[in-house]
Every structure is written in structure tokens, then in C-alpha cells.
Amino acid sequence: MSKHALDLARLAVACCALLLLTMAAPASARTVTDSAGRQVEIPAKVNRVFAAGPPAAILMYILAPDKMTGWPRAPHAYERPYIAEQYRDLPETGRLTGRGNTVNLERLLEARPDLIIDFGSVNDTYKSLADTVQAQTGIPYILIDGRFENTPAALRLVAEAIGVTERGDELAAYVEELFAEIDKGLAGIDDKDRPRVYMARGPNGLETGLKGSINTEIIERAGGINVADPGDASTRRGIVNVSPEQVIVANPDTIVTWDRTFFEAVWSDPLWANIDAVKHQRVYLAPSAPFGWIDRPPSVNRIIGLRWLPGLFFPARFQPDIREETRRFYKLFYHVDLDDAALDRLIEWSNGKP
């Protein structure tokens, strides 16, 4: 079948589904205004939610895992112990947005969601996709702003939409208290006294996020200065590849990474040997199970990273008991009780050289 014919067939399926959904729609419904300002009519009761990508899946797992239709990507073996047992084997649904989107309309309709949620950027591209998918399937689709500072509002907005308001208020209050604590601790610190930080992504460490990127905004939120600063407000923000020479010129005094391959190799790699962060053993491996502490993906999982990073950046000002804070966070947000062995595996090299 040609691509055109296949597209027409898919559209026919979608239209039939839309007609059926419209005929079966409940008389009562609500209107939600999402982060993009779109007014979306959703069912009075939402029982099944399709996460458009990993950030939205984490948001849903944290708020109401029983309402998830599945994971965009099935959890890896090392991630599974840090996810509540009853949710580890939810089906793999694929993703609607981001790199490697794999969901077509038929697969989406088979999941029978009452609502689609995307969490992250809310620019025109994502608005257009949401409008198109909603029009073709009849499934309400809301966009939620995924910026760090919007986390409490995002938790409350989604919690209200899916009917778990009390849960949303509890988690939002935790985040607000943490933000206030960090702001108080950072007050009065001059730029010259802030760490100059490089976030090393990938096995060679030569991928990073420019200042202002959603993938690296945790650096600034924790009080650091992102050395990957283009210095031009008009320059696009996002993930970029850099050269070893650019890192050498930037000469960060602190490096954070979530890639174990890079972390284990950097200490003996001559390309990195003269960088201050390596010379002074200020390269830190962020825990990454079940989700990354500093990124990967940029979702609510970064909140525990905000407990961790300020203690590395400013040890005289922030001295959290990271083990106990991690236990608390994982219980409250991830529905799991961590024993000592699980904690040891999680944060084994998070405070310096192996």
C-alpha cells in the first residue's frame, strides 16, 4: 500500500473512532485550560490517560499510576526495582512526541484513553500536534508546561484534571517548600562564588544543553552557572554537540553527568585531564533510576536532583542527609520503600570519583 493510501486508511479509522467516541460521550464534561491557553473539553471522570512522552509518563506515574495506559518505553532492568511492583509491567505504548516518536493513530485508539497529556514545551509545534491529534481521534489532549519553575502549577493542574486534587496539592507543597529552601540558601551569593558547571551528556561527554535549555535548567536552579552559554539571547536553546576544545576553553570547575561510561572514563582521558573539574575531582555521577535526577527526561524526577546538587555546589550552605531525603522522595513520589542495599546501588558514585 502506498503512503498516501495508508494515510487515507488511517484517517478513515480515526474518523470512525471519532464518530463512535462522540456518540458515546457522557453528557457531563468539563473544560480545562491547559498551559498553552487551549480550552479543552474533558470527561467529568478521567480513568485512562495516555502519556505523549516520557516526561508526561513520569508525571502520571507520580500523580496517579492506576490511570496510566502504559509506559512510552518499558523500564530497563536496572530501573525496575525503583518502580512499584504493580506498575513495572504496564504495556509499552510508544511516544507521540520527541525523538523517535513511534505511535500512530490506530495504536493510540487501541489504548482507549480518556485523555492525552504532554508535559514539556508548549510552543506552536506542540500546540499544532495536539490540535491535530485531538481533531483526528476525538480524544482530549492537553499540554502542560514542563519548565522547572512551573512544577507546582503543573502538578495541581493535572491533578485537578484527572481527579486527584489532594495528591496534587501534597506534591506541589513539597516542591514549593524545596524551592523556598533553595532560594533562602542561595541568597546573597555573588556570581564569582558560584560554580561554573558543565553538564556532560553521552558516553564521550561532548553533548550538553545550552543555558536556558529545559535539559540543563537545573544547573541554574541549584545555583550554578552553565558554562554552555552562547551569550546571545536570540540563539536557540537546546541540546548541542561541542568539541573538546570548547570544553577546554570553558574550563568548568564542576561537571555533572548521568552517563556512567563517561564518568568512569573521564579520570584517565587525556582530553579532560587539564580541566579544573577533573583535576580537583569535582565530576559527579547523577543517579538515574528509575528516572534521571538531573535530566533524562526533564520531568518531575528532577526534584530529587535539586535536593542533591546544591549540597555539591555549596557544601557549607547545604548539608542534606541525601540518603534520608532520597528515601522520603522515593516513598512520596515513586511509591517505593528503599532499603539500604537499594540506596547503595542508586547513589554509589554520586559524590565523586569511583
Query: Would you state the pLDDT for residue 24?
Result: 44
| 247 residue type, one letter | V
- Give, rounded to a whole angstrom, the gap between the first and last alpha carbons of the chain: 55
Alpha-carbon distance of 343 to 326, in angstroms, equals 8
36-40, 285-289, 309-313, 348-352: which range is least confident on average?
A: 348-352
Query: Would you state the pLDDT for residue 230?
Result: 86
Q: Give percent of the chain with pLDDT exceeding 70.
A: 90
Q: Decide if 146 contacts 120 (C-beta within 8 A).
A: yes
Q: Decide if 290 contacts 84 (C-beta within 8 A).
A: no
346 burial (CB, 10 Å; 0-12 / 13-18 / 19+) is buried
Quick one: how far is CA 147 from the chain centroid? 9
Question: Which CATH architecture does the domain made up of 189-346 adopt?
Answer: 3-Layer(aba) Sandwich (3.40)
Alpha-carbon distance of 50 to 111, in angstroms, equals 8
Position 63 pLDDT exceeds 60: yes
53-62, 251-260, 301-310, 342-351: which range is least confident on average?
A: 342-351
pTM of the model: 0.91
Q: Are strands 239-241 and 141-145 parallel, antiparallel or unpaired?
A: unpaired
Residue 320 banded pLDDT, cuts 50, 70, 90: very high
Query: Would you state the pLDDT for residue 5?
Result: 37
Alpha-carbon distance of 163 to 308, in angstroms, equals 31
> 238: helix, coil or strand?
coil
Count the Cβ atoms, other than its own, within 10 Å of residue 43: 17
What letter does residue 275 receive in the DSSP assignment? S
Q: Decide if 76 contacts 98 (C-beta within 8 A).
A: no
Query: Would you state the pLDDT for residue 199?
Result: 98
Residue 13 banded pLDDT, cuts 50, 70, 90: very low
> 258: helix, coil or strand?
coil
Alpha-carbon distance of 184 to 320, in angstroms, equals 14
Alpha-carbon distance of 308 to 305, in angstroms, equals 5
Alpha-carbon torsion 79, 83, 88, 91, what sign? negative
Q: Decide if 42 contacts 115 (C-beta within 8 A).
A: yes
Output the nine-digit C-alpha cell for 239: 541540546
Cα angle, residue 292 at apex, residues 260 and 286 outer, rounded to 5°: 45
Q: Decide if 54 contacts 72 (C-beta within 8 A).
A: yes
Alpha-carbon distance of 220 to 226, in angstroms, equals 7
For 288-340, what is the HEC assignment? Answer: CCCCCCCCCCCCCCHHHHHHHHHHHHCCCCCCCCHHHHHHHHHHHHHCCCCCH
Query: What is the topology classification, in CATH, of domain 11-176?
Result: Rossmann fold (3.40.50)
Output the nine-digit C-alpha cell for 104: 500512530
Query: Would you state the pLDDT for residue 4?
Result: 35
Query: Would you state the pLDDT for residue 233?
Result: 62
For 155: left if phi > 0, alpha if psi spans -120 to 50, otherwise beta; the answer is alpha
Q: Decide if 322 contacts 308 (C-beta within 8 A).
A: yes
Q: Do domains 11-176 and 189-346 have the same CATH topology?
A: yes
Alpha-carbon distance of 142 to 42, in angstroms, equals 9
Domain spans, the chain = 11-176, 189-346
> 28: helix, coil or strand?
coil
Query: Would you state the pLDDT for residue 232?
Result: 72
